[in-house]
Amino acid sequence: MKIIRRPDEMRALCRDFRTAGRTVGLVPTMGALHEGHLSLVQMSRNICDATVMSIFVNPIQFGPAEDYQKYPRPFDSDCEKAEAAGCDAVFAPEQGDMYPPDYASYVEVERITGTLCGASRPGHFRGVATVVLKFFNIVSPQVAIFGQKDAQQVVVIKRMAADLNVPVKIAVAPIVREKSGLAMSSRNIYLTAEERTQSSLIYKGLLAVSKLFDKGERVAQNLKAAIGEVLGAAPLVSPEYIEIVNTLTLQPLDTIHGAALIAIAMRMKTSKTRLIDNIVLGGEL
């Protein structure tokens, strides 16, 4: 597996892949790899001939009070995991090559970035859309694979790629969960033992909604109440939002007719860790 730092070298390698008739799949990550990331690599390998993983902790998607400095960066073990999972190359650019001092261009996706996580993380999706478009331009992948856990990110990237005519297919991989049901996340390492136990109720809440939906319940208020009831037993888990929204517009729904995204964000009271999770009912992202 090649480890590449410079964007021009990455572009040249991907050009070689394509010249050799190999389709290229891109798995964008910020490192601190877990089973969830590795499932994205597996999906890429199922669809494409060559897989490039980017590992870059993107400073412009972190707010001033967020964990950019302390975000885990176990680069060597990440490369070992990426290689064992079958990546052909890791692209790990230097911050100065991605954002030189005279850098001035950003991607703003309107409307769908101000809701859900965007409401409490202003500028986050501008940072995500910008770096992902840069990766698309450097790697020119036929397919880019994202995890459903970051559901709003998936919707934003799909919108951006369609609006800006980027010739890439966005594939969405299912959420990978720990045994307890907790969605895998690089930030789970921040959780205290007690928070870890209580945070498993987040998925139990989502399952309760799914059960009600299967029985015919379509009123958003009633479905949301079911999650609230389950989380009542988790005093260390403080809800930031519990929303039921349209899967394309991310606008809240009063009643579910087609597909709906049930999205939740929680703040842990002790470690202040922010966790997100979701399920999609009646369709897919």
Binding residues for ligand PAF (CB under 6 A)? 28-30, 58, 61, 128, 131-132, 150, 153
- Work out how close the CB of 34 gets to ligand PAF at its nearest, in angstroms, rounded to a whole number: 11
Q: Which of 34, 37, 124, 257 is catalytic?
A: 37
Q: Is 34 a known active-site residue?
A: no
- Work out how close the CB of 256 gets to ligand PAF at its nearest, in angstroms, rounded to a whole number: 27
Beta-strand (E) ranges in the chain?
A: 2-4, 24-29, 50-55, 89-91, 143-147, 169-173, 237-246, 260-268, 274-281
User: Which CB atom, from 224 or from 274, has the smaller least distance to ligand PAF?
Assistant: 274
Question: H helices of 20-150, where?
Answer: 35-47, 75-85, 95-98, 116-120, 124-139
For residue 77, give both structure tokens: 């073990």
- Intra-chain end-to-end CA distance of the chain, in Å: 32
- Residue whose C-alpha is closest to residue 186's, from 263, 116, 275: 275
User: Which CB atom, from 57 or from 191, has the smaller least distance to ligand PAF?
Assistant: 57
- Residue whose C-alpha is closest to residue 168's, from 145, 189, 191: 145
User: Which CB atom, from 149 or from 224, has the smaller least distance to ligand PAF?
Assistant: 149
User: Which CB atom, from 50 or from 170, has the smaller least distance to ligand PAF?
Assistant: 170
By annotation, the residues acting in catalysis are 37
